[in-house]
Amino acid sequence: MRGTVLITGGAGFIGSHLCERFLKEGFKVIALDSLLTGSLDNIAHLFEVEGFRFIRYDVTNFIYIKEEIDIVLHFACPASPQDYLKHPIHTMKVDSLGTLNTLGLAKAKGSRYLLASTSEVYGDPEVHPQPEDYWGKVNPIGPRSVYDEAKRFAEAMAMAYYREHGIDVRIARIFNTYGPRMRLDDGRVIPNFICQALRGEPLTVYGDGSQTRSFCYIDDLIEGIYRLATYEGLMGEVFNLGNPDEYTVKELAQLIINLTGSNSGIVYRPLPQDDPKRRRPDITKAMETLGWKPVIPLKEGLLKTIEYFRERLKGEALHSNSRL
């Protein structure tokens, strides 16, 4: 074994893929998850894998792990607007107390520490695309602030541990990511559109659909995170990880309708407060330092994701019929 990695949020969408990747690379993996938004279904296939251990645990509490830990990856946190608006205080506790507790563990164990931050720290940006040295435009008291500001605080906490205690901290600012293991009711735009299209329902677009997003397939993101976590000499560094290809929400809706073969139309609803108008990462730093850039085109990634959701919806229908 190459060492031991602790992954908080290990039963979540991104966390479960990280568990797989680090196991594949020869690491022991300890996954922590409260299962508030994560699911054991995401990691059930790993329970019999040598070197994998799951602990159901809320990281807002003190964390004690007996064995030595080489890398801590803090990925626990409700990440979709639907989830963090439903659990606003817990979201802030995970990004404050949870970050404090995981940093304390890294300090005690002498571990490298990778914080999962987000493109939301840039808010509704006035600089486009967004480089790592842009400070952002965030409403500190708006409804989204429970996530935006919590992540900004988590970054500040991580950097304080780096400066005061010399912890090997690195921060990943993750832009919109999609792929298998997202929940059907995740609430983010790609799961929403795919489920609506497969069910033959109208796709719900907020605003006029001209706002833009950049979508990174999960396999590409995991490669970037793995390189950032294992690369030597990046203490105190921040990296954007995402796909710089930019699409309007309306373009995405039409593409998903076409790829699913759906007859769904599009309905328009008012734009939520503080919803960013444009979002696109500047990944120059990741390309030059990590040698990383996304390689999976949106159409290819969406086809894989659509197939996953199609099977999940079939499974739900069968389960529902079996109860009748």
User: How is residue 61 annotated by DSSP?
Assistant: S
User: What digits encode the pLDDT tens for the residues 297-312?
Assistant: 999 999 999 999 999 9
Q: Give the mean pLDDT of the chain.
A: 95
Structural domain contains residue 197 = no
Give the mean pLDDT of 154-182.
Answer: 98
Please give the pLDDT value at position 278.
Answer: 86
Confidence of residue 237 (pLDDT cuts 50, 70, 90): very high
Please give the pLDDT value at position 275.
Answer: 79
Give the mean pLDDT of 114-141.
Answer: 94
Containing domain of residue 132, as a range? 4-178+216-244+278-296
Structural domain contains residue 309 = no
Q: Retrieve residue 124's tokens.
A: 């509704």
Of the candidates 241, 222, 296, the one whose C-alpha atom is nearest the C-alpha of residue 18 is: 222
* pLDDT of residue 317 exceeding 80: no
Number of domains, the chain: 1
Contact 210, 250 (CB under 8 A): yes
Structural domain contains residue 113 = yes
Give the mean pLDDT of 3-10.
Answer: 98
Which positions ≥6 away from 59 have C-beta within 8 Å? 8, 32, 34, 74, 76, 94, 97, 98, 101, 102
Q: Which residue has the higher pLDDT, 280 or 2?
A: 280
Contact 123, 151 (CB under 8 A): no
Structural domain contains residue 265 = no
Q: Model's pTM, two decimal places?
A: 0.94
Structural domain contains residue 261 = no
| DSSP class per residue in 129-190 | SBPTT---B--TTSTTHHHHHHHHHHHHHHHHHHHHH---EEEEEE--EE-TT--TT--SHH
Count of residues in the chain: 324
Structural domain contains residue 272 = no
* pLDDT of residue 1 exceeding 60: no
* pLDDT of residue 255 exceeding 60: yes
Residues forming the active site: 147
Structural domain contains residue 148 = yes
Q: Retrieve residue 262's tokens.
A: 């759906």
Q: Which CATH number is 28's domain given?
A: 3.40.50.720
Structural domain contains residue 288 = yes
Which positions ≥6 away from 104 have C-beta within 8 Å? 62, 63
